[in-house]
Amino acid sequence: RREKHPYGTTRITMGDQKKIPAALSFATGGLGGIGGWIMVHPFNTVAVRMNLATASGAVNELGFVPFARDLVNKEGFMSLYTGLGAGITRQIFYATARLGLFESMRDEVAKYRPMDIWSRLGVGVVTGSMAAVIACPAEVSLVRMSNDKALPVDQRRNYKSVLDCGLRIAKEDGVTAFWRGAGPFVSRAALVGACQVGTYDQFRSMLKNYGFKSEIQQVFGASMMSGLLYSVVTNPFESAKNRMAFQRPDPVTGKLPYTGTMQTIAAVAKADGPLALWNGFWPYYLRCGGHTVGMFVIVDLLRKAYFQYA
Domain ranges of the chain: 2-309
Alpha-carbon dihedral sign for residues 288, 291, 297, 299: negative
Alpha-carbon dihedral sign for residues 131, 114, 12, 238: negative
Query: Which residue stretches of the chain are H helix?
Result: 22-53, 64-75, 84-109, 117-147, 162-172, 182-192, 198-209, 215-246, 261-272, 281-309
Using DSSP's 3-state secondary structure scheme, residue 273 falls into: coil
pLDDT at 11 over 60: no
The count of other CB atoms within 10 Å of the CB of residue 32 is 26
Highest mean pLDDT, choosing among 6-10, 15-19, 151-155: 151-155
Assess contact for 192 and 234: CB atoms under 8 A: yes
The count of other CB atoms within 10 Å of the CB of residue 185 is 28
Q: What angle do helix axes 261-272 and 182-192 make, rounded to 10 degrees?
A: 90
pLDDT at 33 over 90: yes
pLDDT tens-digit series, residues 231-268: 888 889 888 877 887 777 878 888 888 888 889 999 98
What's residue 284's pLDDT? 83
pLDDT tens-digit series, residues 283-301: 888 888 888 889 988 998 9
Nearest one of 298, 301, 243 to 268, comparing CA atoms: 243
At residue 63 the predicted structure's pLDDT band, cuts being 50, 70 and 90, is confident
Q: What angle do helix axes 84-109 and 182-192 make, rounded to 10 degrees?
A: 50
Nearest one of 102, 144, 104 to 21, comparing CA atoms: 104
Of 20-24, 33-37, 158-162, 173-177, minimum mean pLDDT range: 158-162
Nearest one of 205, 240, 14 to 123, comparing CA atoms: 14
Secondary-structure class of domain 2-309 per CATH: mainly alpha
Nearest one of 14, 6, 7 to 32, comparing CA atoms: 14
